[in-house]
Structure 1
Amino acid sequence: MMSSLVRILLLAAGLLPCLAAAAGAGGYERVRIALDDVQLNAVLYRPQGPGPFPAVVALHGCGGLWRDKDKLSTRHSDWGERLAAAGFMVLMPDSYGSRGLGSQCGVKELTVRASRERVIDAVAARHWLQARPDVRADAISLLGWSGGGSTILAAVRSDRSPADKQLDFKRAVAFYPGCRTQLESRSFAARLPVLILMGSADDWTPPAPCDYLAKAARARGESVNLVVYEGAVHDFDHPRLDMKQRDDIAYSATGTGKATVGTDPAAREDAIRRVKEFLAGK
């Protein structure tokens, strides 16, 4: 739980955003999340108008948030702009860069783990948003890609439900997460509606474990739905990524450290529609 002092400081930051962030290129602001032991840099996309707005905490994958020092990755800028145009405040915490780390795709012994540190980052981001007067505190959702998607699954577990459920996340979207860890956990249960989006040809995080996970969750009465796009691979929602094979990853379905990535225009278009509708509660 947040201390009263932290709440006051965060509220002040929300009332005086110009003191907490400097405007950046591409329609986003660079902001700083300071909550108890969590210190994170982040990117914020804000819709036009006074609000209050529903919001999304968006979690990057193993490659991190940035393309290079001063350029947000194309995927993140595309989704940030799209969701802001649809009326959502979008906060993207930088879990790696904030800790002095670069891409973690080829790292086997992670120090910033999906099931621990990154879940803490997501919760801190939610608290930061809920302290802002231009955000609807009861309408903050989660969105994540790959390793960020795996974080989503860890964050929505029922055994991680906050004490004040009125301030919980609303719903969650996971793009091509690794589902095996949660599938093998006997205690996994989703407390929120979850939408999982994957490609049938994904050889980095294959869909089969997520299919089993979703079916088991629905059998228990949980709202966990999986959409699998035929022939699509990892990163299918990227705005413009030529199909290619990566050979620099720590874990892959084949065990070779290689996986195929690339945009699938049809899957991308359908995913954009589904995500907007799902986050809007339709």
Structure 2
Amino acid sequence: MGKVVDLLKGVGLACLCLAGCLDAAPAWADEVVQFESAAVKPTPFQERNAQEGGETAKSVPGIPLRGYLTRPPGEGPFPAIVALHGCAGVLSNDREVWPERLSSWGYAVLVVDSFSTRGIKDTCHSLLSDRVYDAYGALTFLSKDSSVDPRRIALMGFSAGGIATLEAVQLGGAERLMEHKFSVAIAYYPNCSVASGDMAVPTLILIGELDDFSPVQKCREMMAQRSGKGSPVQLNVYEGARHAFDAEEFKNGVEAYGHRVEYNAAAADRSESDVHTFLKQAFGD
């Protein structure tokens, strides 16, 4: 895990200057919304242990969160996307570019801000495991929205948010404890070493061939070790692409801790098309 943290630290620190500019940037989000992360329920094992000790296992209450909700034109109900940002917080690619794109395809988009209400600047020195429960809190929030089709909600994450995405839909993990379930998952350049590869829902992983923050080899190893249980998992590798290849804010590239973060127009376009196709296959036109 230390190696994963080291990889994330570099990219996060390189992004922090951009994160600080968000307040001045126009947002595509129609509204700022408030909701809570999913309460952390005790596992059956924890419940049994508590009962044997004459106690009752308790749930950990949800944490108040902020989100940015964008709806497409029309009345719905729309399919929807829960989007998770990277370790440096909500950047323009998360808050503007992808919501604009996805809403133009007919999806409602809820970008989850996991940091502001917790008073966190970044998590590039460590991983925030609670982000899995942030995702499910957002899912519950959207499932109660009359403009959203609760049967068609996807989870999509970038970098550290991609790691949380894989953890959230891993077969037999947190998903088994949740009332509401995601339909599909999309992870942009996650570090795949955190996941077994067995997923509860169809999952698309998109990564650059030259990514040295989230090495493609880890994803190939994950794919090779899959047991065959669960849902299909698709790994798309983009030739010549590095970390954050879809984010135009890194158009000139950034060097951080000996690693490269760089936009790649060709890979961005191909991945956008791949995501669109994946969602259409899952949800229809």
User: TM tier, shorter chain?
Assistant: 0.7 to 0.9
Instruction: Write the distance in 1 (CA, Å) between the matches of 2:236 and 2:258.
Output: 24
State the Cα distance separating 1:132 from its structure 2 match: 0.7
Q: TM-score, normalised by structure 2?
A: 0.76
Aligned length: 233
1:100 counterpart residue number: 119
**1:119 matches 2:132:** yes
State the Cα distance separating 1:84 from its structure 2 match: 0.6
Q: Which residues of 2 match residues 121-140 of structure 1 at below 5 A?
A: 121-140=134-153
Question: 1:68-88 CA deviation, whole Å, 9 max, x = no partner?
Answer: xxxxx2443110000011010
- Deviation beyond 4 Å, 4+ runs, structure 1: 218-221
Question: 1:79-98 CA deviation, whole Å, 9 max, x = no partner?
Answer: 00000110101001101122
Instruction: Write the distance in 2 (CA, Å) between the matches of 1:231 and 1:127.
Output: 38
State the Cα distance separating 1:55 from its structure 2 match: 0.5
Instruction: Write the distance in 2 (CA, Å) between the matches of 1:152 and 1:199.
Output: 18
Q: Greater helix share, 1 or 2?
A: 2
Instruction: Write the distance in 2 (CA, Å) between the matches of 1:74 and 1:182.
Output: 25
2:67 counterpart residue number: 42
AA at the equivalent of 1:26 = W
AA at the equivalent of 1:53 = F
Q: 2:248 aligns with which of 219, 225, 239?
A: 239
3-state SS, counterpart of residue 161 of structure 1 = helix
State the Cα distance separating 1:27 from its structure 2 match: 4.3
**1:59 matches 2:117:** no
2:31 counterpart residue number: 29
Comparing 228-237 and 29-38, the one that deviates more: 29-38
- Which structure's relative contact order is higher, taking Cα pairs within 8 Å and 6+ residues apart? 2
State the Cα distance separating 1:244 from its structure 2 match: 2.8
1:189 counterpart residue number: 198
AA at the equivalent of 1:193 = P
Q: Which residues of 2 match residues 66-81 of structure 1 at below 5 A?
A: 66=91, 73-81=92-100
AA at the equivalent of 1:42 = G
2:45 counterpart residue number: none
3-state SS, counterpart of residue 260 of structure 1 = strand
Q: Decide whether aligned partners of structure 1 residues 197 and 151 sit closer, same or farther in structure 2, where only a CA change above 3 A counts.
A: same
Instruction: Write the distance in 1 (CA, Å) between the matches of 2:98 and 2:227.
Output: 28
Query: 5+ unaligned residues in a row in structure 2: which ranges?
Result: 1-25, 38-60
1:170 counterpart residue number: 183
Q: 1:207 aligns with which of 210, 213, 216?
A: 216
Q: Is the 8 A contact 2:28 2:99 kept in 1?
A: no
Q: Decide whether aligned partners of structure 1 residues 47 and 218 sit closer, same or farther in structure 2, where only a CA change above 3 A counts.
A: farther
State the Cα distance separating 1:213 from its structure 2 match: 1.2
State the Cα distance separating 1:138 from its structure 2 match: 0.7
**1:90 matches 2:109:** yes
3-state SS, counterpart of residue 43 of structure 1 = strand
Q: Is the 8 A contact 1:75 1:239 kept in 2?
A: no
1:266 counterpart residue number: 266
State the Cα distance separating 1:229 from its structure 2 match: 0.5
Identity of aligned residues (%): 35
AA at the equivalent of 1:56 = I
Q: TM-score, normalised by structure 1?
A: 0.77
3-state SS, counterpart of residue 231 of structure 1 = coil
State the Cα distance separating 1:157 from its structure 2 match: 1.3
Q: Decide whether aligned partners of structure 1 residues 179 and 27 sit closer, same or farther in structure 2, where only a CA change above 3 A counts.
A: closer
Instruction: Write the distance in 2 (CA, Å) between the matches of 1:195 and 1:273.
Output: 12
Q: 1:161 aligns with which of 164, 175, 195?
A: 175
Comparing 193-202 and 231-240, the one that deviates more: 231-240
Instruction: Write the distance in 1 (CA, Å) between the matches of 2:205 and 2:224.
Output: 12
AA at the equivalent of 1:241 = F
Question: 1:105-156 CA deviation, whole Å, 9 max, x = no partner?
Answer: 2x2x44xx2xx30000000000000001111011100100000000011001
Instruction: Write the distance in 2 (CA, Å) between the matches of 1:82 and 1:136.
Output: 19
Q: Decide whether aligned partners of structure 1 residues 87 and 96 sit closer, same or farther in structure 2, where only a CA change above 3 A counts.
A: same
Query: 5+ unaligned residues in a row in structure 1: which ranges?
Result: 1-23, 67-72, 248-256
Q: Is the 8 A contact 1:38 1:124 kept in 2?
A: no
1:14 counterpart residue number: none
